[in-house]
Amino acid sequence: MAPRRALVIALIAGLLALVAAGCGANTAPYTATGTVPCLKRKGFTGVTTNPNKVGFIAAFSTHGGLFARAPGGGNNLTIAFAADASGAASTEKEFRRHAPRKLRPHLADVMSSQRNAVLVWTVSPSAQLLSDTVACLRS
């Protein structure tokens, strides 16, 4: 009887794993064009995906780049949308490499990534501002 019970438990566990995988989070890469409308709704201004205005690294990112001014002013945001998470790591490395030497030690305060998106601020964002921005990342 014990082997039969173990088989039933294993089958149920397997089915639950399949269901959980099917209900998993969306893993499609975030894009600049998908993210722009939400940022505008959240009060960001000057939101653009124009390659001439988003900066060199973001302009050449696989899924585009964007630039925006945070609500209330005083903080600008650049997001580079890489192909995937490993591309985001490479993009972070490029931001570090091209940052002024004086700024490099502080990049951890103003740069973060979510999946394939690398966010770079001019000033450390508040927890709420960062949360609102990450909630706007879209495919």
Does residue 21 lie within any of the structural domains? no
Residues in the chain: 139
The sheet carrying 65-69 orders its strands as: 45-48, 65-69, 76-81, 117-121, 111-114
Q: Is 64 left (phi over 0), alpha (psi -120 to 50) or beta?
A: left
Is the pLDDT at 97 greater than 50? The verdict is yes
Query: Does 18 fall in a domain?
Result: no
**Confidence bin at 103 (pLDDT 50/70/90):** confident
Look at residue 15 and tell me if it is in a domain.
Answer: no
β-strand pairing of 117-121 with 45-48: unpaired
User: Residue 82 domain-assigned?
Assistant: yes
DSSP assignment of 5-49: HHHHHHHHHHHHHHHHHHTPPP-PPP-HHHHHHHHHHTT-EEEE-
Q: Please give the Cα distance from 40 to 42 (Å, whole number).
A: 5
pLDDT for res 17: 42
Structural domain count, the chain: 1
Judge whether 1 lies within some domain.
Answer: no
Q: Residue 43: which domain range?
A: 28-136
Domain assignment present for residue 110? The answer is yes
Does residue 10 sit within a domain?
no
What pLDDT is attached to residue 25? 61
Answer yes or no: is 19 within a domain.
Answer: no
Closest C-alpha to 72, from 32, 129, 119, 120 = 129
Least-confidence region, from 9-18, 73-82, 84-93: 9-18
